[in-house]
Amino acid sequence: MPDMATIHQSSKNNDTADLGYFASTEVEDDELEENVEDWSRYYKKKTSRLFYPICVGDVLDKRYCIEHKLGHGGFATVWLAYDIQNKQNVALKILAAGEGEHEIQMHEEILQSVQDTSRLVTCLATFSLPGDNNCNHQVLVLPWRGGCLDDLRIKKMSMTARMSAAKQLLEALESLHKAGIVHRDLKDGNCFWGVVPLDDLSRRAKYQALGRPLKQVIWVEELWKPGEFVRPLAIPDDLRTDTFYLGDFGLAMKLGSSGAVIPDGRPPMQFCSPDRLHNKGPSIACDMWSYMCIFAELYLGHPIFSSFGTTHNMVGLLGPLPEEWKGDYLPPENSLDLWYDQDKKPSPSVNLHARIARARPDIDPIERDLVYSVMARGFNYSPEKRLTATQLLQDPSFKALLDRYC
């Protein structure tokens, strides 16, 4: 990582000519292929939900200059841009054709009804880009944050930082729930670090800190506008701050809203509550299960449930699912009768107590009991028995655990 004082000094040379570099080796080609969106997202013969082609250096809505790539998902690409008007770095979430109306509505709802949005990644502005065949692409202008949590980064964090993140993210979730809003897609990938402001740096200086964009031209038949595949930037650890945020409200919903069209979807299997897996409706309790998965990942240093065989893993750790749920699992052909066998109990060598002890052999019995108390109630199969965010923040075991680190 270059010295920040040197970078700030170089920012006096405001060089905007650097637009990154094109892949020129097989290794660089392979790296791009592994880290960028699939080419078919730009090919109208493959999908109607086309991505919008972007080149580094493009200026959108006459004010947002694209400087780097932040990432992509199933419904959007996300870019680091410089707001020429307000002189600040922002993230642009450019949605696929036909997507985004619900997400924009939810951002408006959050800004109107949530009292404390300080730990939520909420919209600064929105605009629309005309695309191919008269389709439009909605764009969300968001504050730039320092990348999302994942188990590899969590392993490098101190326990103080991990438990601080757990508290901040729970407070963010509480603010949503108090307004009657369910996130519905709570996972580590939607939890974000803060980042040191780089608003006063030139593009050259930013590239010294973040790396220059590695890119390829998008060669797709009948591509209506030039575009580039760009490797997402990797934010150095020393540019991250110890503030944490909750974002991505594409699946969020307001409880009790009638007539609203709610998009289908749920968290990835390893973050999804068992009631949702059994065709029960989304609820605040579902979010709390997902939060407990994030808490467990922060505390243990790795996801508590695997992404493959998640339900089988869950039953082995926590015990049999409620018998009355049998037959409701989606898809039904993937369920196993043994999951609902009330005579099958977790082995003492692999149950929740054992998992905590194995993952954290360094802790004393008192702390182990505190963690078990928190997780056992958070991972309760009965939604009505799970603690709410407010209850968990006030829970003696949770508070005692945080007091040990924060």
3-class DSSP state of 40: helix
**Can you tell me the distance from the alpha carbon of 211 to that of 233, in angstroms, rounded to the nearest whole number?**
7
- Distance (Å, rounded) from C-alpha 203 to C-alpha 382? 52
- Neighbour tally for 78: CB within 10 Å: 20
Q: Are 230 and 48 in contact (CB under 8 A)?
A: no
Q: For residues 349 and 321, what is the distance between their CA atoms, to the nearest angstrom?
A: 19
175, amino acid identity: S
Q: Which of 382, 170, 390, 392 is nearest to 280 (CA)?
A: 382
Q: Which residues contact 326 (CB under 8 A, 6 or more apart)?
A: 335, 337, 339, 340
CA pair distance 37, 228, nearest whole angstrom:
11
97 in Cβ contact with 49 (< 8 Å): yes
Q: What is the rounded distance in angstroms from the CA atom of residue 157 to the CA atom of residue 398?
A: 20
- For 135, the token pair is 């389709």
Q: Are 388 and 400 in contact (CB under 8 A)?
A: no
Tokens 């108090």 correspond to 178
Integer Cα distance of 196 and 145 in angstroms = 9
225 is in an annotated binding site: no
Q: Residue 10 corresponds to which tokens in the numbers above?
A: 């170089």
Radius of gyration of the chain (CA): 23
What residues are designated binding site for ATP?
93
What residues are designated binding site?
93
